[in-house]
A and B are shown apart, each in its own frame.
Chain A
Amino acid sequence: MNDRRKLLKTAIAGAGLYGVAPFYGPWKTNRAWAQSAQKKPLVIGLTMDTSGQYAASGAEERLGAMMAIKEFNAKGGVLGRTIEALHMDTETTPATGTRVAERMINRNEAAFLVGAMHSGVANAISQVAQKYGCVFLNTNSSSPTESGKDCHKVKFVWDGSGTNFSHAIVKNAMKVNGKNWLLLTNDYVWGHETSKATRAIIEANGGKVVEELLVPQNTRDFASYLLKIQQIKPDVVATAVGGDDIKALRQQVVQSKMNMKPAWINNQQDWPDVYGLGPEAIFGVFGTNWYWRLDLPGVKEFVAAYQKQYPGLGIQTPGNVYYNGYMATRELLRAVERAGTTNNLAIIKELEGLKVSARDRMQHFDAYMNPVTHHLQQTIYMASYNDHPAEKDDIFKILAQVPPQEVEDKASITTCKLEAATPSYEQ
């Protein structure tokens, strides 16, 4: 009897351990800064996932940010200060994002925060950043709310949003595939907002959403969804499913031979989620904001620099997630240079007026920061699997490039209310 009680107690403790598993440490810091004649290093807090649903993407965006920092340090840092990258795992968990942001700002004196894949984590970090006035760059979370109702004065969003991708893909897919759509939506903020944007575009163009199926996060078995889709018989299935969930879904769609019919629209495919997969696993039409074989100036050099800096990595060519991490960090450091200060208000002003040429962005059209929403307006690419790869890792076929003006999320201009007052912050 005693044994059974002990076992039950242990079981409860075991469940508890798994409950707290995402919070295990230790925190990592690079090193403590010692007083010296040198200027104090500029600490950039990298708030990126190395565990949880977006671990693989979090690792890639970190490499991108590190590359930009390395380039600046190679030419003497910024404002005469070397740049220190301080990374802590945000664990794809909003509560951890809050703790990490608090700690980086209060204990590690981070001048800026960079990173985020998951919209819940991005929102959590940005609330803390706004409280202190610390500029935060959301590198890869593409929920429309990030530059809509959850926008903040200190936050700048670098990836295309779900709305941008929907605008680029949905109208065309309606013409080609039909008007009856089924939405498969991850049951959290990014999924809901992305599907909401898709629904609005479908209905505005005379289409009909015949069903919306919600997919709880961490769903691994999609057989019941796939049966339901077959029973409903939509023309098109538009997914807003991310992270490990989309990987499991993709695998099961292919196994059930449903990858050709109905037509599949995947809002955005992040490079780490599809890297190394074959034609049987990448299906449908999807969006991206960059591809490593774009025939544009600077792309080849950018890819070569990645391969030289990170030889032997599992992901041997950079993708959109790495690109966003790099571009965001580079533009932040350029803004510091131009402003001649690390004061947050000066940096915010610089970033609000940001314009980046297509050449500098390695995209087809010029990009610009929308000062009302703090969302970078940029080229969006429609892509599908490449049946005729020219070389290894040439797995995307770019179908079209859409200029930023055509995919703009106009709703966010009214839903985003940037704070009038933001504390002054400088490190």
Chain B
Amino acid sequence: MTWLAQLLPHLVNGVSLGLLFALLALGFMLIVGVMETINLAHGSLFALGMYVAIFLITPQLGWFPETQAAYLALPLGTRYAIALLCAPVLVGIFGMALELCMRRTYGRDPLYGLLLTFGAALVIEELIRVVWGSGEKQLPVPADLSGAVLIGDLLYSRYRFFAAGFACLMIGLLWFFLEKTPYGSIVKAGAHDSEMVRALGINLSRLRLFVFALGVGLAAIAGVVMAPIWGVRPGVGVDAVVPAFLIIVLGGVGSLWGAVLAGLLVGLAVGLTGAYASEWSLLSMYLLFIAVVTFRSRGLFGKKSVLDT
């Protein structure tokens, strides 16, 4: 049983990592699923969420010094909660502006949208460098969330448990929104047949604007949650967009539970290889991807096309 005791912490770690990967992919999945647009700026918006959160936790503007001092006197936990709520909203508004720019690409070759979001990714990264500089930054974490917990005789980061729990909450909320609310039904209908949705009198432009903002907001939330784990650098978005892309294809484009399952599988693969064959830890996610897509090209939960029958 010693081997099981040795393995168990790595399984727990793999699951928590998987939940974080799933959180990373949620916004990407939503935008691809509903708008059929591959948002290559997802990673940069993820990074922007981190920086906006740092600003909201430790604002350094120089204007209204008294207000700023009063704000900074608030407990770190309160400022962290404000950042967790407000950073996605602010980045989501930024995302709305991006969506307005994208409108000219709708109905055209998808490459136009791809190039536009790729360009936006570069612009956002440079914007971050200009505003916040190129150096490493740290997002302060409330004392209650930092430190380690002892599992058996092993120390494990308390914040990672919080992050994994928060990822579960976000997955649950998104599921509830999509499955149990009328607006979620409209979003899903828009993904299924956007022309019919328009014919039924629903404002498709507004729907797309909302979905894009929601997807971007989810990217920013993932950024805020991941910041204390991955660190904050202008180029950190590239680290996020590649696994997010892989997870949504692995899970099946547009499938919420597909993305969650794929995230968990990728997390377990990376976590276990990290422990037992560390040089394969990054490669393992790509090998998993190849193995799944070879036998099931539409991904784990992807919809069957008429050609498959």
Contact = CB atoms under 8 A, between A and B. Distances in A.
Interface of A: 1, 3-4, 6-7, 9-11, 13-15, 17-18, 21, 24, 51-52, 55-56, 59, 187, 213-216, 218-228, 230-231, 244, 247-248, 251-252, 255-258, 272-273, 275-278, 281, 314-315
Contact of B274 (A3, A51, A59, A221): A221
Interface size class of B (residues with CB under 8 A): 35 or more
Given A1-B306, A7-B36, A55-B235, A231 B154 contact: yes
B50 interface: no
Interface string B224-243: 00001111010110110110
Contact of A255 (B111, B135, B153, B157): B157
A255 B147 CA distance: 5
Contact of B111 (A10, A15, A276): A10
Contacts of B242: 18
A247 B281 CA distance: 18
A222 B141 CA distance: 19
Given A10-B110, A247-B233, 9 more contacts: A14-B38, A216-B282, A220-B230, A223-B156, A223-B160, A225-B274, A228-B10, A252-B157, A276-B136
B51 interface: no
A227 B270 contact: no
Contact of B159 (A21, A56, A255): A255
B173 interface: no
A341 B58 CA distance: 55
B278 A214 contact: yes
B172 interface: no
Contacts of B253: 7
A239 to B, nearest CB: 13
B139 to A, nearest CB: 10
Contacts of B238: 18, 21
Given A10-B110, A220-B230, A244-B235, A227 B275 contact: yes
A228 B275 contact: yes
Interface in B76-119: 109-111, 113-115, 118
A265 to B, nearest CB: 19
B307 interface: yes
Contacts of A224: 10, 13-14, 270-272, 274-275, 278, 281
B9 interface: yes
Q: Is the interface of A mostly helix, strand, loop or mixed?
A: helix
Contacts of A24: 122
A9 B122 CA distance: 22
B119 to A, nearest CB: 10
Contact of B118 (A17, A213, A251): A17
Contacts of A14: 38, 40, 114, 118, 245
B118 to A, nearest CB: 5
B114 A255 contact: no
A267 B138 CA distance: 23
15 contacts: A1-B306, A6-B109, A7-B110, A51-B235, A214-B279, A216-B283, A220-B230, A221-B274, A224-B13, A224-B272, A226-B155, A227-B9, A231-B9, A255-B159, A255-B228
Contact of B136 (A219, A252, A255, A277): A277
A257 B6 CA distance: 20
A224 B160 CA distance: 12
Interface of B: 6, 9-10, 13-14, 16-17, 32, 36, 38, 40, 109-111, 113-115, 118, 122, 133-138, 141, 146-148, 153-160, 228-231, 233, 235-236, 238-239, 241-242, 245, 249, 253, 270-272, 274-275, 278-279, 281-283, 305-307
B213 to A, nearest CB: 21
B138 A277 contact: yes
Contacts of B135: 56, 272, 275-276, 314-315
A256 B160 CA distance: 9
Contact of A17 (B114, B133, B134, B279): B114
Nearest to A275: B135
Contacts of A248: 229-231
B199 to A, nearest CB: 17
B12 to A, nearest CB: 9
B114 A55 contact: no
A59 to B, nearest CB: 6
Contacts of A315: 135
A256 B278 contact: no
Contacts of A281: 138
Contacts of B245: 11, 14-15, 18
Nearest to A281: B138
Contact of B157 (A52, A59, A223, A244): A223
Contacts of B114: 10, 13-14, 17
A227 B36 contact: no
A276 B136 CA distance: 8
A230 B110 contact: no
A227 B233 CA distance: 25
A329 B71 CA distance: 47
Nearest to A315: B135
A221 B270 contact: yes
A219 B278 CA distance: 10
Contact of A11 (B155, B228, B249, B305): B249
Given A314-B134, A314-B135, A6 B110 contact: yes
- Max chain B C-beta neighbours (<10 A), residue from A21, A56, A219, A224: A224
Nearest to B227: A251
A214 B10 CA distance: 17
Contact of A220 (B239, B249, B278): B239
B148 A256 contact: yes
Contact of B148 (A251, A257, A275): A257
Contacts of A18: 40, 238, 241-242, 245
A59 B135 CA distance: 10
B36 A247 contact: no
A35 B278 CA distance: 57
